[in-house]
């Protein structure tokens, strides 16, 4: 159903009921109402604040005929108040007059701070006392009758409403009231959801009620014939919705998914990091001291796949870094095409350089803000929920006769990398002479681990071949040397020794896996036979 606007139906605000928990800006807003000739009805603490600011206030008991009672549990709930909000100003006019009901044209109300009290660790009895009853009743009554009543639930709206009241001789338009009504029903829905989730949580039961408000249309979905939207979850301080596009075309569904993976890939890196993402997998990942060098190393992880990729950094980006893209090269074949570059910030000179590419999306977002506790996946009227995968390892146990000198920083880098790769996932990582870490090769999304291992080895060999500068006769020796210094990281256990045999044939001598297979002993025996060092971490990192 499409709602039709009715801009000509403005109503003057002659009586307003003001009862708020969050008193930010309420005195200033009430002063505007008073200046427009509006009578202000109020309760308890709100009434006190308004009077302290020199505003005349009608006590709510003068309307209800009853005092506030039961420690404030009864203040606004009454036949007189709800009738003043709910009666139809046209059909019910005579009945309201006969009952002595005077209309209330505006309610300014925000609810008891249940969520804030919960977050402070309040006990159960305190939580119960912070469940608002009268507030939601007034809010819903006013919202239902928005044709005649304005309902204000957000202090952030005071300034805009004050301007409209001053410009419109104390009246508010129908469209404004309609917008306020929608906001009010969302507020009470979110409030009730928070309470119900908390009560279930208290009982040891999981219940999830997700509400999303603001939406923006994306360029298109996974394919150009699909439509797509991004919605912001209500009641959150930080949201991926808040990515700031500084330049370039609108973002698509795939851009948003790949950019999230890119930002998540660099989020936990300790040094300056860069991720190159293609189809939701890191085809390049590196960290180190110098951002430009790190970018080059990440790109070298798979230069072919990096074409049309999404790139993220975990540090502000300087011009020296982005000139690696050669966007101003006269020979267009030297220009590196990417879809998105995201970072916490960009230096002005870096932005000026990137703006040369009119379609390149330059996005400002700090990956440090990606700290979700839960991971959701919606599957046809069913919701899968799990805690997010943030634990890298349970232990570092060498289970073979041979031990290796595996730098813990490189180990963590490898685990961060394999955690981002679609299962079955194999990553080959190395420490470079300057101390930087690089994803040398990866295999992703294969139905068996052997295929993933083969892909990771092939990619690593190709990268080593590309970087080698010696004679062709020395190439295999160089590859064997570099592979011997690298580590193979698996997201899950090896079910058979075949992966060990592949790794050894490729020159690898260090393997890291979580362990836990019923065939662990045979896998370890094969490692001992072939002189391989194998570490168990005790933590699996499937990503489907």
Cα end-to-end span (Å), the chain: 38
Own/partner pairs for 31-37, CB < 8 Å, 24+ apart?
31/55, 32/162, 32/165, 32/166, 33/106, 33/165, 35/166, 36/165, 36/166, 36/169, 36/170, 37/170
pLDDT of residue 76: 85
- Please tell me which of 4-13, 60-69, 506-515 the model is most confident about, judged by mean pLDDT: 506-515
Per the confidence metrics, is the pTM higher than 0.85?
A: no
Q: What is the pLDDT of residues 127-143, one digit of tens each?
A: 999 999 999 999 999 99
Q: Find the helix or strand (DSSP H, E) in which 534 lies.
A: strand 533-536
CA torsion sign, 473 to 475 to 479 to 482? positive
Exposure of 389 by Cβ count < 10 A (0-12 exposed, 13-18 middle, 19+ buried)? middle
**DSSP string for 267-306:** HT-SSEEEEEEETTEEEEEEEES-HHHHHHHHHHT-TTTT
Average model confidence (pLDDT) across the chain: 94
* Higher per-residue confidence, 263 vs 75: 263
CATH number for region 388-536: 3.40.140.20
Q: Are the beta carbons of 311 and 274 closer than 8 angstroms?
A: yes
Q: Per DSSP, what are the bridge partners of residue 59?
A: 42
141-152 mean pLDDT: 97
Neighbours of 43 (CB within 10 A): 22
pLDDT of residue 6: 52
Of 14, 249, 279, 326, catalytic: 279
**DSSP string for 115-158:** HHHHHTT--HHHHHHT--SHHHHHHHHHHHTTTT-EEE--GGGH
- Residue in the block written with tokens 């990091």: 273
* Higher per-residue confidence, 341 vs 470: 341
pLDDT of residue 44: 87
Q: What is the pLDDT of residues 351-406, one digit of tens each?
A: 999 999 989 999 999 999 998 889 999 999 899 999 999 999 999 999 999 999 99
pLDDT of residue 1: 47
Q: What is the pLDDT of residues 437-486, one digit of tens each?
A: 999 999 999 999 999 999 999 999 999 999 999 899 999 999 999 999 99
Exposure of 470 by Cβ count < 10 A (0-12 exposed, 13-18 middle, 19+ buried)? exposed
Q: Give dist(CA 274, CA 216) in Å, integer.
A: 28
Of 144, 247, 319, 326, catalytic: 144
Residues 6 or more apart whose Cβ sits within 8 Å of residue 374 = 385, 386, 387, 388
pLDDT of residue 8: 58
- Residue in the block written with tokens 């080698």: 468
Lowest mean pLDDT among 155-164, 204-213, 248-257: 204-213
In 3D, which of 478, 436, 474, 434 has the Cα closest to residue 460?
Answer: 478
288-317 b/e (C-beta count within 10 Å ≥ 16 → b): beebbbbbbbbbbbbeebbeebbbbbbbbb
pLDDT of residue 140: 96
Q: Give dist(CA 265, CA 342) in Å, integer.
A: 12
Q: Are the beta carbons of 395 and 512 closer than 8 angstroms?
A: no
22-30 mean pLDDT: 95
In 3D, which of 56, 20, 35 has the Cα closest to residue 165?
Answer: 35
Q: Are the beta carbons of 362 and 316 closer than 8 angstroms?
A: no
Exposure of 157 by Cβ count < 10 A (0-12 exposed, 13-18 middle, 19+ buried)? middle
Active site residue 144: yes
pLDDT of residue 386: 93
Nearest-5° Cα angle at 215, 311 to 179: 150
Active site residue 14: no
Exposure of 245 by Cβ count < 10 A (0-12 exposed, 13-18 middle, 19+ buried)? middle
pLDDT of residue 207: 87
Q: Give dist(CA 235, CA 69) in Å, integer.
A: 31
208-217 mean pLDDT: 87
Residue 89 Ramachandran class (φ > 0 left, ψ -120 to 50 alpha, else beta): alpha
Neighbours of 280 (CB within 10 A): 18
Q: What is the pLDDT of residues 281-328, one digit of tens each?
A: 999 999 999 999 999 999 999 999 999 999 999 999 999 999 999 999
- Tell me the percentage of the chain whose pLDDT exceeds 70: 99
Q: What is the pLDDT of residues 416-439, one digit of tens each?
A: 999 999 999 999 999 999 999 999
Q: Give dist(CA 444, CA 279) in Å, integer.
A: 11
Q: Are the beta carbons of 183 and 153 closer than 8 angstroms?
A: yes
Is 388-536 in the same CATH topology as 11-202? no
Q: What are phi and psi of 370, to 5 degrees?
A: -85, 90
Architecture of domain 11-202: 3-Layer(aba) Sandwich (3.40)
Residues 6 or more apart whose Cβ sits within 8 Å of residue 452 = 424, 425, 426, 443, 444, 445, 446
Q: Per DSSP, what are the bridge partners of residue 108?
A: 18, 152
- Give the largest Cα separation in the chain, rounded: 105
CATH number for region 245-369: 3.40.140.20
In 3D, which of 31, 78, 26, 87 has the Cα closest to residue 54?
Answer: 31
Q: Find the helix or strand (DSSP H, E) in which 341 lies.
A: strand 338-343
- Tell me the angle at which helices 408-420 and 253-267 cross, rounded to the nearest 10 degrees: 160
Exposure of 442 by Cβ count < 10 A (0-12 exposed, 13-18 middle, 19+ buried)? buried
Residues 6 or more apart whose Cβ sits within 8 Å of residue 357 = 248, 327
**Where are the domains positioned within the chain?**
11-202, 245-369, 388-536
- Tell me the angle at which helices 174-202 and 134-144 cross, rounded to the nearest 10 degrees: 150
- Residue in the block written with tokens 């036949």: 79
pLDDT of residue 2: 43
């Amino acid at each position: 159903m499409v709602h039709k606007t009715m801009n000509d139906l403005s109503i003057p605000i002659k009586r307003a009921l003001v009862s708020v928990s969050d008193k930010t800006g309420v005195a200033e807003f009430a002063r505007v109402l008073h200046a427009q000739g509006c009578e202000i009805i109020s309760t308890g603490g709100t009434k006190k604040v308004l009077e302290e600011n020199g505003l005349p206030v009608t006590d709510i008991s003068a309307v209800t005929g009853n005092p506030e009672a039961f420690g404030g549990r009864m203040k606004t709930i009454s036949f007189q108040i709800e009738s003043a909000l709910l009666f139809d100003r046209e059909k019910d006019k005579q009945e309201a007059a006969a009952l002595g009901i005077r209309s209330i044209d505006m309610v300014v109300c925000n609810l008891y701070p249940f969520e804030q009290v919960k977050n402070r660790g309040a006990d159960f009895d305190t939580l119960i006392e912070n469940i608002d009853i009268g507030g939601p009743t007034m809010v819903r009554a006013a919202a239902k009758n928005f044709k005649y009543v304005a309902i204000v639930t957000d202090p952030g709206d005071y300034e805009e409403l004050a301007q409209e009241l001053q410009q419109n001789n104390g009246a508010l338009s129908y469209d404004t009231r309609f917008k306020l009504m929608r906001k009010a029903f969302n507020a009470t829905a979110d409030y009730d959801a928070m309470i119900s989730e908390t009560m279930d949580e208290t009982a040891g039961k999981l219940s999830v009620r997700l509400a999303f408000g603001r939406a923006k249309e994306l360029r298109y979905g996974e394919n150009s014939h699909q439509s797509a939207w991004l919605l912001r979850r209500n009641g959150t301080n930080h949201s991926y919705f808040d990515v700031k596009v500084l330049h370039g075309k609108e973002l698509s569904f795939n851009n948003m998914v790949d950019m999230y993976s890119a930002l998540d890939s660099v989020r936990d890196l300790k040094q300056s990091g860069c991720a190159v993402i293609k189809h939701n997998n890191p085809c390049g990942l590196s960290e180190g001291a110098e951002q430009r060098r790190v970018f080059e190393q990440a790109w070298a992880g798979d230069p072919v796949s990096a074409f049309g990729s999404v790139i993220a950094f975990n540090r502000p980006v300087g011009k020296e870094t982005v000139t690696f893209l050669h966007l101003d090269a006269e020979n267009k074949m030297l220009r590196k095409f990417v879809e998105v570059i995201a970072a916490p910030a960009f230096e002005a000179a870096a932005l000026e350089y990137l703006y040369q590419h009119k379609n390149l999306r330059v996005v400002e977002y700090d990956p440090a803000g990606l700290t979700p506790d839960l991971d959701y996946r919606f599957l046809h009227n069913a919701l899968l929920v799990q805690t997010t995968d943030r634990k890298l390892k349970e232990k570092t146990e060498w289970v073979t006769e041979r031990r290796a000198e595996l730098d813990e920083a490189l180990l963590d880098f490898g685990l961060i990398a394999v955690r981002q790769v679609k299962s079955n996932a194999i990553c080959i990582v190395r420490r470079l002479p300057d101390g930087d870490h690089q994803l040398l090769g990866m295999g992703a999304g294969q139905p068996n681990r052997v295929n993933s291992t083969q892909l990771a080895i092939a990619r690593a060999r190709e990268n080593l071949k590309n970087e080698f500068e010696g004679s062709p006769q020395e190439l295999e020796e160089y590859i064997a040397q570099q592979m011997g210094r690298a580590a193979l990281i698996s997201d899950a256990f090896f079910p058979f020794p075949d992966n060990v045999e592949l790794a050894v044939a490729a020159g690898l001598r260090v393997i890291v896996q979580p362990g836990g297979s019923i065939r662990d002993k045979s896998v370890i025996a094969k490692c001992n036979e072939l002189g391989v060092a194998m570490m168990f971490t005790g933590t699996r990192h499937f990503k489907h």
